[in-house]
Structures are given as C-alpha cells and as structure tokens.
Amino acid sequence: MAGHIPFTSNPLDRASNLRHDDDWVAAQLQLAESRFLAFSRLNVLCRQAEATELVWLDGSCLDGLTDYCAPVLLGLRDGVAHFAIDVLDIEATQLGFDGAAFGEVRGIAPSLSAADAGIVAQARSILDWHGRNRFCGACGSPTSVKKGGSSRQCSGCEAEVFPRTDPVVIMVVWRDDKCLLGRRSGRPGGAYSCLAGFVDQGETIEEAVRREVMEEAGVVVDEVKYHASQPWPFPSSLMIGCFAHAATDEVHLDDLELADARWFTRDDVRRALESPSEILTVPGPVAIAHHLLSDWSVGAEAQGHTEPA
C-alpha cells in the first residue's frame, strides 16, 4: 500500500490466553499502572494538541463514578493492561480533565497516531457489541461479561456469545484504463466511491464481489484479487479491499442503491485524489476506498494479474 490505512495498526497484545483467567483479569483491574480508555456514547476521551491524543485514565478515576459498564480488556502493551470502559453519559469535565472531550471517532481518526487509531477501532467495536448484547438472543435473560470482555454468558440458558465482525467487500472494478465508481442516492453530484457491500451467508469474498457489482451496476466481474483490509468500527465491519476485473462495461443501474455509476479514467482518479472537483470527489484517507483508488491509480491491480483466457 502506498499510504497508511487508519485503524489498521493496533499495537496491543490481545492476551488471548491470559484473559481466560478471571483472577488474572481482576488483578489487572486493581493494578495502579493499568490504563483505561473512556468512551461515552461510543465517542472517545481525547485532547486536542498538535495532534489528537487519547486520554488514558488510571483506576482511581473510576472510583468517583457511580454508573459505568464493566471494563473490557483490550490487551497488553509493555506488560501493562489496557482497558476500554463505557462511562455512559458522563461529561468529560466530570472525569476531572480540563481540555479533554469525547471525540467522534471517525472525525478524529485522521489526526490520531496510527497506533492510537488502531486501539480506538478495537475499543469502539467491542464496547458497541457489549452495549447491544446485554440480553440473551436465545432466551432473553441478562448476560454478563466473561474473559475480560471477549465474550458474554447468559444467566438463564448459560449460552456464551462472542463478539462478531461483519465482512464487507469493497472493490475497484476496473477494465483497461478505467474504473467503475458509484454515487449513492443523496450524495452530492461529484461524490463517487468504490462499490461495496456486506458478504452474505454462505458466500466467498469473490462471490460477494461479483454479486454486488452485478446487483448494483449490472457489470460482469471475472477475476477478483484481494489487496488490503481495514477494520471499520462503525460499528464492527472488516472492509476487504479488492481489485475486480470487469468482463463487460455496459452499466445497468440498480436504482435502489446507486443514483449513478460510471467509468472514470486513471487520470480522473489521480486528479480527484489530489483535489476534489465537481466532476469527481473520492473519499478521504480515513476510508480504505481512498487507498484502493490511490493504489489503482498507479497500476497496483496489474501486479500479478493475468488476463482471463
């Protein structure tokens, strides 16, 4: 990849073996050096300096709080436990930090360090999952946190449920020196991006790419090549970036999802990556679409590509 993709560089050791030991997790919660990253309504506590910095609390900051969800162990860094904690509707000032505020993750991600953005992606997704799984989907009884937050267990039927990640394919559909981009309904005139969609049950990545491109634009895709991926914590997707070679070029729009889909040249894309225009504006660097298009604009799709017979 030519550029760094946000949310991809989480430095924490997830401590998968250690977190199964409830006593070990409880001990980490009590250690003075353990660190806590607070979220309110899935926004993260941070401070604006030259760059945006995460504000890590120590356990003492939690003592004054009356209402928060069980901390979730994110992992270890240099042997120090790092937790995420949902402090519900508390204001940043109530945590005793001047100049700190709860920042919306998508907005602040570009100004975070790569490591911090990676940690925030994990934390936001896992806290969202806990918030949505407080009751058992099978019997409706309350569930509680297990294994430092890597699962929940039902108090009624004892079923254990695990966090899930939703795979999404996102692809630069290309043919010769052009790529096919779509504009969603409600988006302004020049705002085009890669086609994308959730992987369906019982479907491979390649099948999902071909199905989505056919459904949304009526274009036949033959060869699909994986290129790069990105965790996307809104709430919990894995974006699977591909190059998809088009066998046909006539566009038949699915008017439900896309307002328009059209072919753009490599030069069009290069210009749009440098400066947006009324003709073409592509997503910014927070999104993997930007990086897929950037790499395609310099020919990355051809590396190892063999034309279909």
Contact segment (CB under 5 A) with Zn ion among 84-92, 149-157, 162-170, 245-253 equals 149-157
DSSP string, 283-298: --TTSHHHHHHHHHHT
Pick between residue 62 and residue 161 the one whose CB is nearest to Zn ion: 161
Per-residue contact flags (x/-) with Zn ion for residues 14 to 53, judged by CB under 5 A: ----------------------------------------
Least distance from Zn ion to the Cβ atom of residue 146, Å: 13
Contact segment (CB under 5 A) with Zn ion among 27-35, 77-85, 132-140, 183-191 equals 132-140
3-state secondary structure of 292: helix
144 binds Zn ion (CB under 5 A): no
Please give the Cα distance from 236 to 234 (Å, whole number): 5
Asked if residues 152 and 44 have their Cβ atoms less than 8 Å apart, the reply is no
Tell which positions 231-290 bind Zn ion, by CB under 5 A: none
Contact segment (CB under 5 A) with Zn ion among 1-9, 30-38, 153-161, 245-253 equals 153-161
Identify which of 119, 19, 125, 27 has the alpha carbon closest to the alpha carbon of residue 73.
Answer: 19
Single residue of 27, 31, 139, 298 touching Zn ion by CB under 5 A:
139
With CB under 5 A as the rule, give the number of residues binding Zn ion.
8
136 binds Zn ion (CB under 5 A): yes
The DSSP symbol for 139 reads: T
154 binds Zn ion (CB under 5 A): yes
Between strands 52-54 and 258-265, the pairing is unpaired
The CA-CA-CA angle for residues 243, 248, 252, to 5°, reads 100
Both structure tokens of 63: 């003592």
Please give the Cα distance from 171 to 194 (Å, whole number): 6
- What is the binding site for Zn ion (CB under 5 A)? 136, 138-139, 141, 154, 156-157, 159
